[in-house]
Every structure is written in structure tokens, then in C-alpha cells.
Amino acid sequence: MDGTRVSALAIYRLQERAGIIQKEKPRQLQKPRKGHLLSLSKDIKKQHKGKKKVSLTKACSQVGLEGPEPLPKKDNGLKLEGEPEAGAPQSSPPAAEVEKRSRGPRKQKTQNEPAEPERVLPPTGGAGEEREVEPLSAPAAGEKRSGASRNQKSKRQTAEPESALPRTPSVAVGEEREAGLSPSVVEKQSGVPRKQKVKKKRALPSTAPGGEEGKVEQCPGAVEKLSEGPRKQKVKTEASEPERVLPRTAPGGEKRVVEQSPGAVEKLSAGPRKKKVKKQAAGPERVPPPTARVEEEREVKKKQEIKRQTAEPERALSPTPTFAVEKLSLNQKPKKVKRDKAEPQRTAVGEKRKVEEGAKVELVEGQNSCGAGSGAPSLQQVLQELGQIPHSKRRAARLFEWLIAPLPVDHFFSWMWEKDAVLVRRGNPDYYRGLFSTAELDAVLRGEDVQFGLHLDAARYRKGQRETLNPPGRALPATAWSLYRDGCSLRLLCPQAFSAVVWQVLSVLQEHFSSMVGANAYLTPPGSQGFAPHYDDIEAFVLQLEGRKLWRVYKPREQAEELPQFSSPNFGPQGLGKPVLQEVLEPGDLLYFPRGFIHQAECEPGVHSLHLTLSTFQRNSWGDLLEPLLPAALQAAVEEDVEFRRGLPRDYLDYMGVQHSESGDPRRGPFLEKVQRLLARMAQYAPVDAVADQRAKGFLHDCLPPVLSEKERALSVHGLPVRWEAGEAWNVGAKITTETQVRLLRHGLTRLVSEDDSVVLYYTVENSRVYHQGEPKYLEIDSQYTDGIEYLFSSYPGFVQVGDLPCDNSKDQISLVTMLFEKGLLITKKPLTP
């Protein structure tokens, strides 16, 4: 048996008894977290299955020394090769055999170690940490354990997943203690498992000043010196940790995502390895055998492969990447991020992103600005995807999700909608490709009847004044482009009337908001500004399509201007205050700001700008609902409740009114209480549903008609093969029977409203693509058909058989469906043939 190891442990025990070293009592063993993403792999778990724990008492008693207090009995299912069964006599083999047989199990354990650091570390670690007992084979148990081996046991319980490590250097208890010893008190260690020791280096956060490795005092002769060979292995193992995701705690408070490719491991670890070897005490170098090097290289490759498999789904960008928003506390001041620093960060985020960590978040004067990579689907891909979604309401939600990506929709409506401006940077100039372009505007001017003032405005802002230069008549290309060359911005007021793609986008989004969604296209020449500072009465989404444009956005100046009902007049350059957002929009970027936020935009020299502004929620507030509701509620209350018809006090004018507001007359209190009771009572008579129906009627008048897909067209009245041929009409009279299956074309296509003594069905399929060009479209419905129409509403998006409609007879069923089908409100499951 090795006398060196016996003397080391003996010295340790003597000093422990003398009170020089305080004995640490181990606590209950900690189990690995089950189901954790970084838990042991199935293959590694299988290798550990069937092995048994060996207590410290049993290991120490075989060398004739008193061991520490035994751990609570707990079978973890581990069993080492060559370990005797419980209760079997154990004999001490010769020392040479012990040395030879003890190394095999250690190496085997080391090969199974890569999953060890993936266990969760308690928040703090120290002298009283939980300890895990190292399994030893029966022959190896006969060897004396040195003080360094004892310290290895305390290190094993503090193993931590790399994702939880701080950026500062860590201190492994019992491993770096030799740093505080002189060479004279360091003894050679021959049997300490080197690779196990290497695994425990990254255990506890550093408590030493400046992030240096901490030094722990230990008695002389209790620690043995490691050779340079094992140190190199240790450094190599530490350097092979590029998979660790460190918390982004860079100076300045900026969040940073640390990503490294496995190929950079050797290059990055070369410097620290040399530094580490040079730092430690010199000693006889023990070169590991070639097999050990091969095994360690395999361990590194295996660990990297496991990490790549885990990180692979994280790197795969979904159509709507997730996003982490950094919020400011109430007492925290917003931090200004300079543009020169934000530019490289946006580029880095576009190239290196993880769904787990979200997009890069910048704070610009308290406004949230996020970056997104180029992995999102294009507009054409999204429109094709919408055709596969049966419910039109879900189509609208999906399109809006793409519009504001990577901002999560729930987060947007909870924290930004009607509250704050937000800039979404994508670094993807093709994000809106195919939506609208300057070339398309030129084609519209050449081929369509575009009228100045009705469809197109020409305006410029100079010396604090806005000028509108609209000549009468049609906007011919020669006139329009001449105004553009003179510094005028061209605003196309209804691009949906001339662009099928814009029409489709707006017609889908309007169902998501249950409010009209409009659009304006703005083309601005280089180095100019078209419009004066102002605020609008709409929620605005600015989509930058071409070029660059500098935007300045200001919060409402006073409470009366927050979420206004009407737009403001033009403001001068004075009195606007400091902008809360001042940024240059580039192609693919999105800017949102609520109604009431003052804004102005100017083009940079040398480059033009084309952007599309989507607008919604005009006159769509609670006040707009209550405005017609309160008079209707009062009228109903007066008609039905005698309390509203009782007379006022004869002398109320003696104590009510402005001149008596501060008189302190005791009669004022009961009078005001009576008014409040009547107002609360009036709510019982408020016809909320009727007013909501009237607002829905107005919304359907505002709506754009739906855009039919090829499949929907083939299954609707537009797909019937009716035509004039050879002097007569052909294929007339396609029949609908009780076996025909039908459904509504869209969810929000129609509205059944009760007006006076009749029931009216309003719809949108015949609306104009120009706002309010035409009267509302409707059908008067007999009361016997209302149940059948409501049944169609409730069945959407499923198809129903005509014979199942709740009508009096089959004739009424066929009549109702035929009427709705011929208006284009229904589609059939299969094409109709005459």
C-alpha cells in the first residue's frame, strides 16, 4: 500500500483531533433535478444504473483510521464493477493490485462525467455544503484517502450547470487550495483521479476581490501537488466550455448574448492554458498516456455534440421569434443608447439570435426598440399561409403577429398599445417586399384615374410652414413628378384602391381590430419634409418600404391631448419639447405610436423615402360608445321609471348653481346624492346591445370588401360557369338542395340588426375599395329566417347541411340559402353544377 497516501490522511486526522481543522458533517445528499433540460442523458444514466454508493466510514475503516460520521443510508442505485455484494467479507489485496484496479473505475466514471455539471447548484456554497460520496470499488476502498481526496467530495456537491455561472472567475473548494501552499509542504499525489478533479473546477462564484481565484488555508502536508500534465488537462476541460450561456452583465448595463462556436475552443483556450500552467508551482511533469488524451478529446467532442443537439431547436427561428423586453422601473430613468453603438448591436442580433434569450433590446429614451433576424417569413409566404387557416379571425391574428414580429402580441397590447411608442428594427430590407413600391406608384399614376385632393396630395414643409400644392384635376405623371422634383411629398390617400396586396392586407387586419384599417403611402424626395408636426386621432403603424427617414416622436404635451378624439392642427417648431424617440427608419423597420403622439419626419440628403402608414381605432373609444348610449338610456329610463319623472325640489335654484357652489348650504348634499342615484339607476336602462349593433353597422360600412382566394371564388357564386354563348345563356340555374353543404364566407362579413319593426342584415361584400364610396349594403330579412342566419353564424367555420337549418320547412331553408349565396355571402363545400 502506498505509504505516502497513508501519511497524508494520518496527518489530516491528527490535526483534526487536535482542533486545527474543524470536521465538517455532511448533510443529506442532493438529487439531480428530474426533467431538466441539462439533466443527464439517457445513455449516461444507463451506465450509472445498478451501481451502489460506498460510505466514507467503510472506506476509511479499512486503513485502520476513524472515519467521519456515517451518512444517512440512501441507495442511489449506483454499483461499481468489482464491488462485493452487501454483507460479503472484504479483504485487502496487495498494494500493486489495488493501484492497478483502482484506476479503471475512476477512468470509467470520468467518461460518464460530462453530464455532471448539468445539475443545479444551490444559490450559495461553502464549508457546510451537501456532499456526494464517490463510489469506490472494493479493492480501491482499501487505499488511504488523502486530504485532497476528501476535499474532492465537498466539491462534487457544488457542481453547477454552466448556464448558472456568473461571468467572474469561480473558486472550486479544495481544488485551488494548493495555491496558498509553499512547495515544501506539498506532497506528490499518485492516486487522485485527475479528471474528476477537473470536472469540479467550475463550482462556486468567486468571493475574492477583483474576481481572482480564492485561496483556502489548509494544514501543511495535507495537499499534494499536481503535475503539469494534469494541469493542462484541467485547463483544456475548462476551455472546452463555449456552450455556457453566461448572464449578460456587461459594464454599462447592456445585455449581451455570449455565443461561441465549438471551433473556437482551442484558439480561446490556448492563452489561459499557458497562463494557468505558469502560475502554479513547478513540479515533476507527469505526461498522461496516449489513451487518456484520446479519451479526453472524445469527452470534449461528446459534450459539444450534446450541447449542439440541445441548442439546435433554439437557433431555429420560428416565423414569429420571441422577444425579451427590458422594462424600466418607476424610479429608473430611461437610458439613452447612442446610435453609433446601436448599429453594430442590431447587426449582431440579426446574425446571432436565440429564441431562448429573445431579440436584442435597446432603450432609446425609454422607448423599446428591438432587433429581429432575417429568418421571418416574407409577406408572400404569410399570405399563402393565411389561405390554409379556415377561420378568418385567426387569419387576422396571424397577419398582425407577422406585422409586429418579433414583438409578442400579448406583450404589445399589455404594455405598448395606447401607451408608448415602439421601434422595431429588423435589419431585413426585404421584410415588406411586394407590399408597395415607388414603381407601383408610378404605374398607378400612368394607368389609373388618380385625382389631386381625392386620391393624391402634394405637400412640403419649409421654414416652419406647411404648403399644399394640389392643382385641380387628374394627377398625371408629368405634374406629379414635377412637384416631387420641387421638394413636395406625394401622399397616396387610398393605396388599397389601386394595389391588390394592400387591399388584401387591410381587409384581413380590420377583422383583428373590429375597426376600420386604412392606409396612406408617403413618397418623400431627398433632403425634404412634407408635413408639419402634428398628432393624429388614429393608432399608427409606420412600415418603412424604401430609403431612409428620420422620425421625431413626442409625447402628448398635456393630459387633454392624450388619446384625442380628433387630429390636431399643424404645430410650429417651438413648444414641442424633447422627442422621446428620434431614430432613422430603414427598410423593414416598424414604428408604432398611439394617437395623440406628436410626430414629424424628414428625409435625409441623398436618399428618398417611401413608407406606408396603417391606421386604425379612429373614434373607437368608450366615450364614442357612451355618446349615443347615454341619451338612449335616459330616454328609456324616463319612459319606464317614475323616479325620473318626479319633480325637482321647488327651491333647488336657491342652493344649486355655480354661485352657490361654495355656500356650504346643507341642502346641496342630499340633492347631489339624488342625482348620483338616478345616474346609477339609469345604467339599468342602457341599450348596450342595440348601440353595439349600430356601431357594428357603421363598421361594416367602413370595411373593405373581402379578397377571395381562388378556392373561395370557385365555391362561391362567382365560380358558377354561367355565360353567354352561341346566342343564349348557358349553365344557368345551378340548384341548391337540402343536401348542399354551405358556410359563411367570413366571420365578420355580416351583422344582423333590429331596426324599428324589421330585421336588417348588413354585409361588406359589395363595398367599395375607396372609403365610404357608396351607401351601406343590406338585406331586409323576414323574422322566420333569423334563426337560420344565427345558426350559420354559430356554425362558422364549419359547413352545415341546408336541411339542418332551423326553418319552418325545406322550402324556407332553400330560399334562405339561395338568397345569401347569390349575394356572395356563402360558399359551398363542393362546386355547384347546373
Q: Residue 813 is which amino acid?
A: Q
Q: How many helices and strands (H and E) does the chain possess?
A: 22, 25
User: CA 98 from chain center: how many Å?
Assistant: 58
Dihedrals phi, psi of 168, to nearest 5 degrees: -70, 155
State the Cα–Cα distance between residues 325 and 414, nearest whole angstrom.
Answer: 12
Helix (H) or strand (E) holding 276: helix 265-279
Cell 384599417 belongs to residue: 517
Residues 472 and 451: their CA atoms lie apart, in Å, by 8
The CA distance from 658 to 651, in Å, is 15
Task: Count CA atoms closer than 13 A to 421's CA, side-chain side.
Answer: 28
pLDDT at 662: 92
The helix (run of H) or strand (run of E) holding residue 44 is helix 42-48
* Whole-number pLDDT of residue 176: 41
Return the pLDDT at 367: 44
Contact 155, 174 (CB under 8 A): yes
- Determine contact, residues 133/56, Cβ cutoff 8 Å: yes
The gap between the terminal CA atoms of the chain, to the nearest Å, is 102
Query: Which alpha helices (DSSP H) does 428-534 contain, by range?
Result: 438-447, 477-485, 500-513
| Local mean pLDDT, 10-residue blocks, the chain (834 residues) | 50 64 47 40 45 39 41 43 43 46 46 45 43 43 44 46 40 40 42 44 43 43 42 45 42 38 40 44 47 63 61 41 37 42 40 36 42 72 94 97 96 97 96 97 97 96 92 96 97 97 98 97 97 97 98 96 96 90 97 98 96 97 97 96 97 96 94 97 96 96 95 93 89 88 96 91 95 93 94 96 96 95 96 80
Dihedral sign, CA of 48, 52, 53, 57? negative
Write down the pLDDT at residue 702.
96
The string of DSSP letters for 329-359 reads PTTSPPPP--HHHHHHHHHHHHHS--TTT-S
Question: For the chain, what percentages of helix, strand and coil (3-state, to nearest 5) are there?
Answer: 40, 15, 45
Strands 581-585 and 456-462: unpaired
Q: Which amino acid does the sequence have at 2?
A: D
How do 590-593 and 539-547 pair as beta strands?
Answer: antiparallel
Amino acid occupying residue 512: H
Distance (Å, rounded) from C-alpha 420 to C-alpha 430? 27
Whether the bond between 797 and the residue before it is cis, its omega within 30 degrees of 0, is: yes
Separation of alpha carbons 830 and 826, rounded Å: 12
DSSP state of 474: B
What pLDDT is stored for residue 817 in this prediction?
A: 96
Please state, in angstroms and rounded to a whole number, the distance separating the CA atoms of residues 241 and 234.
Answer: 12
Q: What is the pLDDT of residue 10?
A: 64
Q: Which regions of 503-662 does DSSP assign to beta strands (E)?
A: 518-524, 539-547, 549-554, 581-585, 590-593, 598-603, 609-616
C-alpha torsion 376→379→385→391, nearest 10: 110
